C-alpha cells in the first residue's frame, strides 16, 4: 500500500521493477503489485540443473525434520 505520490512514481519510473497491478483504494491510497526485473536478467550457469537442486533441497529438508 502506497500513500506517497513520490513513491508511486519511483516504482513506475524504475526500469528494474515491473508494476503488474495498480488498484486505487481511495484518492490517497494505492495498492501496487510488482516484482523485480533484475532476477530475469541473471544468466543461468551451464552446470546447474533444476532437478538436482530440487532433490538436494528436499533431502536437506527431510534431514532437518528427522533431527
pTM over 0.75: no
Average pLDDT over residues 38-67: 70
Q: Which domain holds residue 51?
A: 5-66
User: What band does 3 get if pLDDT is binned at 50, 70 and 90?
Assistant: confident
Query: pLDDT tens for residues 29-47?
Result: 888 888 877 655 556 666 6
How many domains is the chain built from? 1
pLDDT for position 43: 62
Q: How many CB atoms lie within 10 A of CB 19?
A: 13
Query: pLDDT tens for residues 9-25?
Result: 887 888 778 888 888 88
Amino acid at each position: 500500500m502506497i500513500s506517497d505520490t513520490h513513491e508511486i512514481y519511483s516504482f513506475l519510473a524504475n526500469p528494474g521493477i515491473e508494476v503488474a497491478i495498480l488498484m486505487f483504494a481511495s484518492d490517497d491510497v494505492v495498492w501496487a503489485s510488482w516484482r523485480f526485473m533484475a532476477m530475469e536478467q541473471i544468466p543461468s550457469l551451464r552446470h546447474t540443473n533444476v532437478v538436482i537442486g530440487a532433490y538436494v533441497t528436499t533431502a536437506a529438508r527431510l534431514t532437518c525434520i528427522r533431527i
